[in-house]
Amino acid sequence: MRFPHVERTIISVVFLGVFLINAFYGGPLALGAVLACVWLLAMGWLLGTRVAPEESPLLRTGAGMLITLGGILIIGAAWYYLFPFTKDMAIGFVALSVPLTALLARNVPRGFIARRHDRMPASAHRVPGPVLLVSAGVMAALAFTFHTLAALATAESVRTAWTAGTAGALAAFFLASIGVVTLLVRGREKWMSLMLLSGLIVTVLGAGIILFPIGYGFDPFLHRATVTHIIDHGTISPKPLYYAGAYAFETIISMAFRVPVDVLDPWLLPILAALLLPALAYLGLSHILPDRRAAMAGTAGLLLLPFVTLIPTTPQGIANLLALATVLASLPALAGKERPRPFMLLIPAVAACAIHPIAGIPTLLYVCILLSDPTRSRTPRLAQAFRIVIIVTGAMLLPASFIANALLAHTGTGLDLSRLNPTTLIASLNLGLFLKNGFRPLLDAAYLVGKNMVPLILCAAFVTFVVKKPWRRALFPGIAVAGILLVNYLLLSTAVDFSFLIDYERQNYAQRLIPLAVFFAAPGFLAILGTLLVRAQHRGLLMRIGSIVLIAGAATSLLYMAYPRNDAHERGRAFNTSQSDVNAVYEIDRAAGGRPYAVLANQTVSAAAVRTLGFTRYYGDAFFYPIPTGGELYSLFLKMNDAPSREIAEEAAKLLNAQCDASPTCVQSPVEFVFSAVNEYWWQSNRIVETSKNIADDWFAIDNGAITVFRFDMTTPRSQ
């Protein structure tokens, strides 16, 4: 006889005891990280017993964890706006969350899955030796991949993540993918297969973290510094309108579990994705597809989604994950016959809105369309009208928000209606497929897959919706929101004016909508892929092996395409933040001798400044490094590198001093030094360096000329 309540109590007491000892007295870093994972999984399991009571523990935990995560983000966002964060508050939040979640699990109404579906259990059998051998091979291949990437990690400035040495890591990932897809298509050992799929997802999302230990990307440095500032000061001012939920979540985990932000932040999103997506994908597909084997095979399609948006842990990335997870978790409510209660899905949807509107608003629209299903409404005509209003309004919502922002900022309407013509609209679609042949088979195949996978997924999803009538009700909300996002993309790409941004950022906002459209359309693609993979297993040995190798090869190609490249098809234009950038920031700060200064530098040096110095010096609303890149200080940096002159340095000092004078809260002294940093890889860096030497008051080189820094003294008269 089992005593579930007693067992839960004992487990909760043990967890709380170990947690409090670690929180107050400290422990190994690994212990804090493990406790944080156990905390999320345990609360997901507890709430999952109510959200999806008849599902297996794995699927139940996935569904419960999504609702738990959404609740934490909402509560954290509210706390962020109302009270300062303290360590005691974070510890108390975690300590109380476990018994409160257990209490909720016993008293809240049942969730969006109420009937027994028997989706995980298979006939009891001993796992065959070949299956165990394949699983061991997958784990060995993934371990080799991580080991190889770690050995090739670099702190130097490079254009690409991939070198000749990383070919072995890609080959090992390809072999691991073959093994995992084989197990998924087999469809028997579900727990084992889904856990190995999680390992592949962590590898895809974590490769950049391993290869670039200083940091990958640019935005993560800003968000990481913000979380660090909140931990150090309890809050940050001014408080951003969005991002609050993400910042609160990271702050609570870092404070309560004693996990440093530099360790927590890079790995948070990859681990969350690996914990949530495989279980929710199978949970959702198993309700659309009557064949559980096809549902399991369909989860392999997760490896083909545009995961590039989930690589860096940013508020946008967390909101994107919530969007995809909500779509997958909603499928039982859409396809089931048990009259489910999907209102609980509003929790992750609202949480996504509290983090980032670009992902949050479409997610909320999705849940509203789901809840307004006319076939389940007592007033079907009213529900249908409500759906139409949501879809029409949603199609214009994001462009309208940018126009409203432009009007409030007195920068014009931000709208150019003359660009709403067939020629411009068709051009913005980029309908042409990538078919370039560089006579390098593997590289050509990688680009063929990487450049064409997004339109392929969208086309497959829309065709599936049209052809598969039994699936239409389940797929309609996702297809509708994907269509809404594509219309928004067209409007943002053509009619909305982003002239206030620098050239390479003007399409950034519109481009963010494409991966989101894929996420909302994903169920149709995953469902048809699973069906086709199972059918291929009945068409002969060559078809069986070929289909598995094709999926594994596509997954490996997308891993290659997810990170910066410098090859025969594409020349890398961006560089990672290097140790030389960090050293330059320290040397500039030392050279200033504690006196106020400003720096003209590129993105990588500015990212290093945020990483090492945090948000230490603002002149009104202007940071003393060129952040953001659309700001006036960055424009002056570009002018300085185009034609170095002392007048540009003086203009930078005047700009920051004027910003400080205009702000009643600015307490900074006037700028005394302006430093100009020139990276050796910058276009015509030799010319810039030699010209600057003749006009600067002083200069010094970092790491044998990797960066050359010039100092302009604003307190001494200019020599004639």
According to the model, what pLDDT value does residue 7 have? 62
Query: Tens of pLDDT along 590-644?
Result: 999 999 999 999 999 999 999 999 988 889 888 999 988 778 999 999 999 999 9
Verify that 479 and 600 share a domain, yes or no. Answer: no
Average pLDDT over residues 358-370: 93
Note the pLDDT tens digit of each residue in 551-587. 999 999 999 999 999 888 888 878 999 999 999 999 9
C-beta of residue 72 within 8 angstroms of C-beta of residue 251 = no
Same domain, 523 and 585: no
Show which of 561, 590, 607 is a domain's final residue: 561
> Is the residue at 106 inside a domain?
no
Asked if residue 603 and residue 524 are part of one domain, the reply reads: no
Handedness of CA 332, 337, 338, 343 (dihedral sign): positive
Cα separation, 168 vs 16, whole angstroms: 43
Which H helix or E strand runs over 599? strand 597-600
Residues 541 and 644 in one domain: no
* Collapsed DSSP state (helix, strand, coil) of residue 684: coil
Determine the pLDDT at residue 477.
93
> Can you read off the two tokens belonging to residue 296?
């399991």
Q: Which two tokens mark 447?
A: 């680009």
Residue 111 in domain:
no
Q: What is the mean pLDDT of the chain?
A: 87
Residue 93 counted as domain residue = no
599 & 668 share domain: yes
In a domain, 165, yes or no: yes
Structure-block tokens of residue 521:
């359309």
* Beta pairing, strands 673-679 & 597-600: parallel
In a domain, 95, yes or no: no
Answer yes or no: do 585 and 545 share one domain: no
Number of folded domains in the chain?
Answer: 2
| Closest to 316 in 3D by CA, of 280, 273, 270, 353 | 353
Which of 325-329, 330-334, 457-461 shows the lowest per-residue confidence on average (mean pLDDT)? 330-334
Is the per-residue pLDDT at 673 higher than 70?
yes
Asked if 604 and 528 sit in the same domain, the reply is no
676: enclosing H helix or E strand: strand 673-679
Q: What is the pLDDT of residue 620?
A: 87
**pLDDT value of position 720:** 43
Segments forming the whole domain that contains residue 474: 137-216+260-561
pLDDT tens digits for range 48-106: 877 777 777 888 888 889 999 999 999 999 998 888 999 999 999 999 988 888 777 77
DSSP 717: P
Between 194-203, 377-386, 553-562, 593-602, the lowest mean confidence (pLDDT) is in 377-386
Check whether residue 595 and residue 506 sit in a common domain: no
Q: Does residue 405 fall inside a structural domain?
A: yes
What is the SS3 assignment for 573-598? CCCCCCHHHHHHHHHHHHHHCCCCEE
**Angle subtended at Cα 152 by Cα 147 and Cα 154, rounded to the nearest 5 degrees:** 130
**Do 554 and 598 share a domain, yes or no?**
no
- Tell me, yes or no, whether 618 and 555 share the same domain: no
110 in any annotated domain: no
Distance CA 463, CA 457 (A): 10
Average pLDDT rounded to a whole number, residues 422-439 = 62
Same domain for 278 and 168? yes
- pLDDT for residue 419 is more than 60: yes
Q: Name the nearest CA neighbour of 352 among 276, 275, 246, 265.
A: 246
306 in a structural domain:
yes
Q: Please give the Cα distance from 213 to 153 (Å, whole number).
A: 7
Residues 442 and 516 in one domain: yes
pTM of the model: 0.92
Going by C-alpha positions, the residue among 648, 629, 566 that lies closest to residue 157 is 566
Strand-strand pairing, 673-679 and 618-619: unpaired
Please, what is the angle between helix 472-494 and helix 422-429, to 10°? Answer: 120
